[in-house]
């Protein structure tokens, strides 16, 4: 049985296909995000995409609920100063209202948000 680590699906690379996103999410995020923005990544997986953005750890928060990814995030994100929270209850998020300038949520239908 394969071991999952965050969003690394290389162990099943030849057994799945994924369509192209309708836009470049990284480019779109960088277009709008300022260096001073507070960033939240909900359901970050293992934090790989979040880390790839290169945003300041002290301005970055993340949540994840899947236990194997929680452990990975505690090590990889918490270890560099990102405010990480294990979370599965979206109605009781551990943050103040209006605390963030940018919020990422990968589980949404991205086509809706990738408008030109």
pTM to 2 decimal places: 0.79
Which structural domain range is residue 92 located in? 23-113
Write phi, then psi, for 54 (nearest 5 degrees).
Answer: 70, 25
Write phi, then psi, for 27 (nearest 5 degrees).
Answer: -65, -40
Taking only Cα atoms into account, the Rg of the chain, rounded to an integer number of angstroms, comes to: 15
* 4 within a domain of the structure (yes/no): no
Residue 109 has pLDDT above 50, yes or no: no
* Cα 102 from Cα 113, distance rounded (Å): 13
Number of domains the chain is built from: 1
* 108 within a domain of the structure (yes/no): yes
* 85 within a domain of the structure (yes/no): yes
11-56 pLDDT, tens per residue? 666 776 656 666 788 899 999 999 999 999 999 999 999 999 999 9
* Cα 43 from Cα 62, distance rounded (Å): 7
């Amino acid at each position: 049985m394969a071991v999952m680590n965050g969003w690394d699906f290389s162990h099943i690379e030849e057994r799945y296909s994924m369509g192209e996103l309708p836009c470049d999410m990284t480019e779109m995020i960088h277009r709008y995000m300022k260096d001073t923005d507070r960033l939240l990544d909900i359901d970050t997986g293992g934090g790989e995409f979040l880390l790839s953005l290169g945003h300041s750890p002290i301005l970055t928060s993340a949540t994840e609920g899947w236990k194997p990814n929680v452990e990975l995030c505690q090590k990889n994100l918490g270890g560099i100063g990102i405010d990480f929270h294990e979370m599965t209850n979206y109605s009781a998020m551990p943050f103040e209202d209006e605390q963030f300038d940018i919020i990422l949520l990968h589980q949404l239908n991205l086509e809706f948000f990738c408008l030109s």
